[in-house]
Homo-oligomer: A and B are copies of this chain.
Amino acid sequence: MVSDKAKLPRFALIKQYLQSQIESGDWPIGTRTPSENELAASFSVSRMTARRALQELADKGLLARVPGQGSFVAKPETKPPNINIHDQLVQAKTDGTYSNRLISLNSVAADQQMANLMHIALGDHVDCLVMVHLQNNRPVQWQKLSINPVLAPAIGKQKFNRVSPDDYLEWVSPSTSEEHQLMAVLPSASQRRELALQDQTACLQLTRRSWSGQQVRSLSITTSPSAHYRLGVNLLDASR
């Protein structure tokens, strides 16, 4: 019962104390906390140890430290909403209910827009595949994926189906950074057909550019009907 508490290092105990004072509301926003020296004295600890507790809470954004004045309880800043763009088909992949269907695979010459987006020369060749991702054999996402052949030359020889090209790409050439853009679109006639949509439905379209170091690795456009694809906490089905 007490055993796990005894193992906590001293700076963590001080941190716990400070955090509980803040989160309980005992110290409202703007309150001055005990100084490093005061904490060091009251916890019988060196100043460096007291300092560490304060500093780590400041790093977390709970405190603001002002040289010459002291440490103050900070206004909890609104955390950037953590919309997880990647987790959509992950469940299906671990389930084993994931599969996909390749619609086309071509090597095409880049037009001006593609060249700009992929930072290559006009006319350079790009591997371009169009496919549909399925869960339990029902199409849930359409994708057009353009790949820089310099970074993933063997793409034409791969057989996908259980493995998505994105996962394969991540394997042969991990992305070092990504950019995203999200918008709502109406699917084209061919997209509707490939997604087996009866009537006109709004779709979320995610455009993603992945980099490997200084080079653009791939450009992906995924389109998913809202019935299958929502981002964030599910607030609408909250009727429990």
Task: Label chain A's interface by main secondary structure.
Answer: loop
- Number of chain A residues whose Cβ lies closer than 8 Å to a Cβ of chain B: 53
Check A95 for interface membership: any CB of B closer than 8 A: no
Known contacts: A25-B213, A113-B239. The answer to whether A201 contacts B181 by CB under 8 A is: no
Query: A116 and B185 in contact (CB under 8 A), knowing A75-B174, A81-B83, A84-B80?
Result: no
CB-CB under 8 A from A76, the residues of chain B are 176-177
Q: Which of B80, B203, B235, B239 contacts A112 (CB 8 A)?
A: B239
Looking at the complex, which of A33-41, A152-160, A224-232 is the stretch in contact with chain B? Answer: A224-232
Find out whether the CB atom of A236 lies under 8 angstroms from the CB atom of B181.
Answer: yes
Residues on B with C-beta less than 8 A from A81 are 83, 85, 178, 180
Q: Is A186 an interface residue (CB 8 A)?
A: yes
Contact between B226 and A185, CB atoms less than 8 A apart:
yes
How close is A48's CB to chain B, nearest CB, in angstroms? 8
Residues in B whose Cβ lies below 8 Å from that of A174: 75
Contact present for A209 and B235 (CB under 8 Å): yes
Copy total for this chain: 2
* Contact B236–A78 (Cβ < 8 Å): no
- Cα of A113 to Cα of B213 in the assembled complex, Å: 48
- Verify if A4 is at the interface (C-beta below 8 Å from B): no
Residues in B whose Cβ lies below 8 Å from that of A235: 117, 179, 181, 207, 209, 219
Q: Which residues of B contact A230 (CB under 8 A)?
A: 181-183
Q: Which residues of A contact B (CB under 8 A)?
A: 25, 59, 75-76, 78-86, 112-113, 116-117, 174-186, 200-205, 207, 209, 213, 219, 225-226, 229-236, 238-240
| Listed A/B pairs (23) with beta-carbon separation below 8 Å | A75-B174, A80-B82, A80-B83, A81-B178, A83-B85, A83-B182, A112-B239, A180-B231, A180-B232, A181-B232, A181-B234, A182-B204, A182-B232, A183-B202, A183-B226, A183-B230, A184-B202, A185-B226, A186-B201, A202-B202, A202-B203, A204-B204, A207-B235
